[in-house]
Structure 1
Amino acid sequence: MASSPTHSEYSPLLGDTRTKPSGDIDARQVGPLEISTTTRYLILLGVWTATFLSSANMTLVPTMLPSISSEFQKSHQASWLGTAYLLATCTFTPLYGRLSDVMGRKSATQTAVLFGGLGTIACGLSTNMEMLVASRFITGIGGGGISTMAAIVVSDMYSLRSRGLAQGIASVFNGLGFGVGGPLGGLITDWLGWRWAFLIQTPLFVLSILLITFKLEYDTPGVGKNAVQVLKRIDYLGSITLLITVASTLIFLSTRYNESLPWSDVAVFLPLTASLVFFLLFVFVEIFVAREPVLAPFLLKEKVPVLVGISNFLVSSCNFAMSYYFPMWFQTVMSTSAAIAGLHSLPSSIAMPIGSVFAGWMMHRTGKYKVINLTFGILPFIAGVLIAQLREDSGPIQSWLSITPIGFGNAVVMQTTLVALLAHIQENHMAVATGFSRLFGSLGQVTGVAVSSALFQTVLERELRKRIHGSDAEGMIKRIRQNARLIETLPVDQQQMVRHSYDVGLKAVFWFATFSTLLAYIVRLPIPEKDLGEEPRAGGVAGSTSTNQSERDASHEDH
């Protein structure tokens, strides 16, 4: 396939994939709408297996922290095991939209899975905390790319109207990974040791990379197929300035609010300054320097991509704030075990894939997305209000099921907004737009964890100072903030004071998440409706429908 002589952020992703006479098809690689059903399903099995592993790795580590910390004796660095993964995901996710254009779908997906697999194996072989944190960062480089490439591949192989249902099915693997990651990690840690929770994933990574290598062969005419051209088109400056911006912000929030250092401390002032400076540099690079910027500034000029990006940011902030701190409420305020506290999040993990499949099915049948979005997109706000009202005497329905609408509602929102985004952009900008939306979602994930942590620690410290006095008050407050397990060792009267302090601090996080999802709902109101195409044929998503005759012919050949 000949390369275009000049390329920019507007360079086409897809060439002419219309069906040609049989002789022409034999002479070239088939397009994504022309592959057989069997090949399509094997490709999906490969990318969705990687999706499952990527999601599981997000929730795997928290249940293993006590074992890891006890082995390396560095519990003060344990939080970076989660932060390093999210930092890498946030930084490298938008690159994959570009890489899939210049390297091709196969090479970009292989790159993501290889980073994810090698990073996971390195985690299991780590000999110290620093190596483990670095390995988690490598895993995150692959994790963000896996989710982006899975969305791009599905968008290649299905028409706009069928993509919602296909993406909904993909979310089953995503939700399953989130749901089983924590419990499975704890079980394997107790049985074989924490290292095997990483190493046991190796066969599935191998299966994924083999399926992608031998089956993801469809043609998406692009540009820059050799290594030199690919390397020249990567936005190195944009990626580095984004990485430093996010990392500096995380360090600032940690030192100022988690460790309560004063504003004048160099560990607070320096990272705050660096975050502001490098953010401005990132914006400058993306607008004036980068040949193919990771941010895709041209999308910032269009209403729907901007609204979808802001919504993704706020929805992800809500999801991660709740997923990290909802179980803590039961463990600290209700004195439940870690296992039982973790199970309280399971209804949301189950509801997530159900909501995604439901949204995809509804869009597939009706060809609409706005009514579905607005109807079910309010559910997370209602759930947030219910969670913020939790008390020690709350009944089992509120305690166990109040989080369910967050998983279901936000899953519907993420599916419908992705389809809305793709419906309002040109087909040749699909990969870049997908990376664009994932970038905002990744930034929301980091924000949800970092801001909620800063908010929680600030309110907790204030409440503890109100209740704990005496000569050793400062030391006790510091120990309680760093280790919630100390609550059980305190006298009964002090336990009640500390539990109430934790309750107030965690409720502040719940209200933050609730406000985020309400603001996201308001942001989505101006997104216009757009018909997704003709009525789908019998046969469901496998017979992906199209709005033009050539794609219908290709789909017909597929069956």
Structure 2
Amino acid sequence: MTKRRSPSPSSEREPLLSSSSQTHAVYSQSPRSTSPEDSSAINGPLKRSRADLIWVLAGLWSAVFLGALDGTIVATLMTPIGNYFKKSNDASYIGTSYLLSVCCFTPLYGRLSDVLGRRGAMLLGLAFFGIGTVLCGLAPSMNVLIAARAIAGMGGGGVMTVSSIAVTDLIPLKQRGLYQGMANILFGLGAGLGGPLGGWLNDVFGWRSAFLFQIPVLAFSVILVAVKVNIPLSAELQSQTVPEKIRRMDFFGSATLAGTVGAMLLGFSLKESEQLPWAHPLIWGLFVASSFCAVLFIFVEACWAPMPVLPLRLITQRTPLAVCLSNLFGSIAAFSVLYNVPLYFSAVRMASSTNAGLHLLPHSIAISTGSVFAGWIMRRTGHLYYLTLGAALLATGSTTLIALWNDSTATWHLWLDIVPQALGMAALITTTLIAIIAGVSKADVAVATGITYLFRTTGQVLGVSLSGTVLQAVLLGKLHARIHGPDAEKIIASIRHSTSVIATLDPERRQAAISSYADALRVVFICQAVCNFLALLCTIPIQESPLPGTLEAQEEQFRRNLEAQRRQEGDA
């Protein structure tokens, strides 16, 4: 195991939002960096007052809040939108199209923020998100609405990524985790308010108002970002013409990466939503297309692109690879929990939808608490390795307890067993983000951040689609084994599509349906625990780098990382 070092902790009396130039200056990469990929994207030093930093964070985090608000608003509106267009069977694609678009375009914003600047990339993301949201509110058909959600997703993922990159430019790594926790609190607040707000707007003004309502908040974010988020590009990039900057973009790599991720996730999503067999031409055709795009992508990044959108030398390093895989497996487990635990209470415990949703309330609170706690620990100690292991272990233990639920499980277990999963996952994504940033050169910070968000969002989509596929496969087999008779197929189909049907069945078939759901969900819960265990294994190789307490020290660490990278490339 590599020896772990850290600087001495800074005083806990130091304010988080001080006006010190040590905290709020932005520094450039070493002038010795001459290659395009090594050149720093950020010029400096740039002094910021406390008030100025607060306004910058307000602009960045208001966009994060809006993204979370939008997600739960749309989840609430899917049923009324489906009823309005008389296409309830297509309503799930409203969410799927957005998530697929987010996954495809999220990693591109890391490189875009180095070419357009943080402000330019953020405004581009907000523009796509705003155009898509307005089109949703004006959509004349379900197909237009689905396409509009895809456009919004092109910006939604970028808003989250670029805001994280910009905060890294402004805040030393030792305090960075605590600021990430603050952003997660706003994200949780937005997600919590979105559901009831979307329902109220739909009841009073109609579902279109829930989209159009977001425009004033979006305009507020755009104004603040345009006026306050002023993090200049390096002198080298500022001197380049627009065509020269465009030539730096890896368009072919971006297209093949989007094809790889999009085709794969679409295959899994269609398998779950349309319940198509694996042998269906559409399903295996999408996987073949994804594989073909992956081969092209590797060739382009390794042999063609002058500025790769996802540098292979970065993803193959020990810590970045471990961080990406732990985020992937952890996100699969987290979103499987988020979607299947309420289903357990609805289908197995026969609770109302309101009661089932209430069981996620402690989970929502724990997400914000876990992220802030992890940030506080890193700020106080300057260490993150054992905190990362503990977070992954906590999540694994939680999902193991959930997998042991049965008819005799105590009520307090049903409420509290989910809490360590939220605490652990929130801490894990915070510490691993800091770990990957601390281990790369300054020129790679934006790209590395984009990569972590790519694996995280991919895991989220896979968590929903794969758990749904496993659930339906096991459920179908159990129902066929327990329900017989001339109308068996019709009853089985109705049980699979709506848990509300279970209460209307005769006692024998009701018990058969409940037992079948219990067996199927137990398999899903075991898979969740396995994914969290894999995430735990992936955190072990992470190398701990010092967490600088000032941006001067952070700048020096980035220079050391760059020199180490050059030595490794020279040895290779």
- Specify the TM-score bucket, using the shorter chain as the normaliser: 0.7 to 0.9
Alignment CA distance shift 1:466-1:79 (3 Å): same
Summarize the Cα distance change of 1:484–1:242 in structure 2 as closer, same or farther, 3 Å threshold.
farther
1:82-481 aligned at under 5 Å gives the runs 82-221=95-234, 223=237, 226-256=241-271, 258-481=273-496
Q: Deviations over 1:322-346 (max 9, x none)?
A: 1122212112222222232222212
Aligned to 1:28: none
1:12 equivalenced with 2:40 (yes/no): yes
1:547 aligns with 2:560: no
**For residues 405 and 244 of structure 1, do their structure 2 counterparts lie closer, same or farther at Cα, with a shift above 3 Å needed?**
same
Give the Cα separation in 1 of the matches to 2:178 and 2:470.
37
In the TM superposition, what is the alpha-carbon distance from 1:8 to its structure 2 partner?
A: 4.0
- How far apart, CA to CA, are the structure 2 residues paired with 1:473 and 1:332? 19
What does residue range 66-81 of structure 1 map to in structure 2 within 5 Å?
Answer: 66-81=79-94
RMSD: 2.6
Question: 1:113–1:142: 8 Å Cα contact kept in structure 2?
Answer: yes
SS at match of 1:547: helix
Asked if structure 1 preserves the Cα contact closer than 8 Å seen for 2:370 and 2:423, the reply is yes
Alignment-mate amino acid for residue 42 of structure 2: L
Cα distance in structure 2, aligned partners of 1:73 and 1:214: 44
SS at match of 2:199: helix
What secondary structure is seen at the aligned counterpart in 2 of 1:377? helix
Contact 1:360 1:415 in 2 (8 A): yes
Q: Where does residue 18 of structure 2 map in the other structure?
A: none
* Aligned 8 A contact 1:69 1:78 in 2: yes
The CA distance in 1 between the partners of 2:257 and 2:555, in whole Å, is: 43
Query: Which amino acid is 1:408 matched to?
Result: L
Q: What secondary structure is seen at the aligned counterpart in 1 of 2:167?
A: helix
Deviates more, 1:458-467 or 1:148-157: 458-467
**Residues of 1 paired with 2:453 and 2:157: CA distance?**
8
**Which residue identity does 1:124 align to in structure 2?**
G
Offset, 1:410: 0.9
In 2: Cα distance, 1:232 partner to 1:117 partner: 27
Q: Quote the Cα distance in structure 1 between the aligned partners of 2:272 and 2:371.
A: 36
Aligned pairs for 1:21-100 (under 5 A) are 31=46, 34-100=47-113
Deviation sequence 1:442-478 (CA, Å, 0-9, x none): 2211211221121111111111111122233333323
Aligned to 2:570: none
Query: Which range is displaced more, 421-430 or 368-377?
Result: 368-377
In structure 2, what is the Cα distance between the partners aligned to 1:493 and 1:139?
47
Q: Give how far 1:392 is off.
A: 4.5
Structure 2 counterpart of 1:265, which letter? H
Superposed CA deviations along residues 385-414 of structure 1, whole A, max 9, x for unmatched, are 122222355433222222111111111111
- The one-letter amino acid paired with 1:77 is D
Q: 1:422 to 1:435 in 2, by over 3 A?
A: same
- In 2, Cα distance between the equivalents of 1:122 and 1:100? 26
The 3 A distance-change label for structure 1 pair 548 and 418 is closer
CA distance in 2, matches of 1:497, 1:53: 43
On the 8 A contact 2:117/2:231 being kept in 1, the answer is: no
Which consecutive residues of structure 2, in runs of 5 or more, have no partner in the other structure?
A: 1-27, 558-572
Q: Deviations over 1:166-215 (max 9, x none)?
A: 22211111222233333333343334332222222221111111100111
Label 1:452 to 1:303 Cα distance change in 2 as closer, same or farther (>3 A).
same
CA spacing shift, 1:298–1:67, aligned 2, 3 Å:
same
Return the offset for 1:548: 7.3
**What is the aligned residue count?**
526
Q: Deviation digits for residues 423-459 of structure 1, max 9, x if unmatched?
A: 1111222111111211111221121122112111111
Question: How far apart in 2 are the matches of 1:437 and 1:481?
Answer: 35
Cα distance in 2 between the residues matched to 1:548 and 1:400: 42
Change in 2 beyond 3 A, CA 1:255/1:55: closer
Gaps of 5+ in 1: 19-30, 535-543, 552-559
Distance in 2 (alpha carbons) for counterparts of 1:548 and 1:245? 35
CA–CA distance in 2 between the matches of 1:468 and 1:322? Answer: 28
Q: What is the DSSP-based 3-state SS (H/G/I as helix, E as strand, rest coil) of the residue aligned with 1:127?
A: coil
C-alpha separation between the residues in 2 aligned to 1:4 and 1:366? 32
Say whether residues 1:507 and 2:516 are aligned partners: no
TM-aligned CA deviation for residue 258 of structure 1: 4.9
Deviation at 1:149, TM superposition (A): 0.8
SS in 2 for 1:511: helix
Query: Does the 8 A contact of 1:257 with 1:458 survive in 2?
Result: no
Kept in 2, the 8 Å contact 1:316–1:444? The answer is: yes
Once the two structures are TM-superposed, the CA of residue 260 in structure 1 deviates from its matched residue by 4.5
Give 1:218 deviation, angstroms.
3.0
Contact 2:437-2:445 within 8 A present in 1 as well = yes
Cα distance change on mapping 1:512 and 1:264 into 2, 3 Å: closer
TM-score (norm 2): 0.86
Distance 1:465 1:357 in 2: 47
Structure 2 CA distance, aligned partners of 1:528 and 1:320?
27
**3-state SS in 1 of match to 2:237:** coil
| Aligned-partner Cα distance in 1 for 2:183–2:276 | 44
Q: 1:550 to 1:11 in 2, by over 3 A?
A: closer
Normalising by structure 1, report the TM-score. 0.88
Q: Give the aligned partner of residue 23 of structure 2.
A: none
Which string of whole-angstrom CA distances, capped at 9 and with x for unpartnered residues, describes residues 25-51 of structure 1? xxxxxx2xx122111110100110110
CA distance in 2, matches of 1:176, 1:200: 17
Q: Which moved more, 1:43-52 or 1:332-341?
A: 332-341
Q: In structure 2, what is the Cα distance between the partners aligned to 1:315 and 1:515?
A: 10
State the shift of 1:71 in Å. 1.3
Give a deviation string over 1:88-142, Cα, whole Å, max 9, x none.
Answer: 1111111111111100111101111222222222222222211121121112111
**CA distance in 2 between partners of 1:449 and 1:463 (Å):** 21
| Deviations 1:283-306, CA, capped at 9 Å, x for gaps | 222222333222221202311111
Q: In structure 2, do the counterparts of structure 1 residues 214 and 263 end up closer, same or farther at CA, with 3 Å as the change threshold?
A: closer
Structure 1 296/503 Cα, relative in aligned 2: closer, same or farther at 3 Å? same
Native 8 Å contact 1:241 1:279 kept in 2: yes
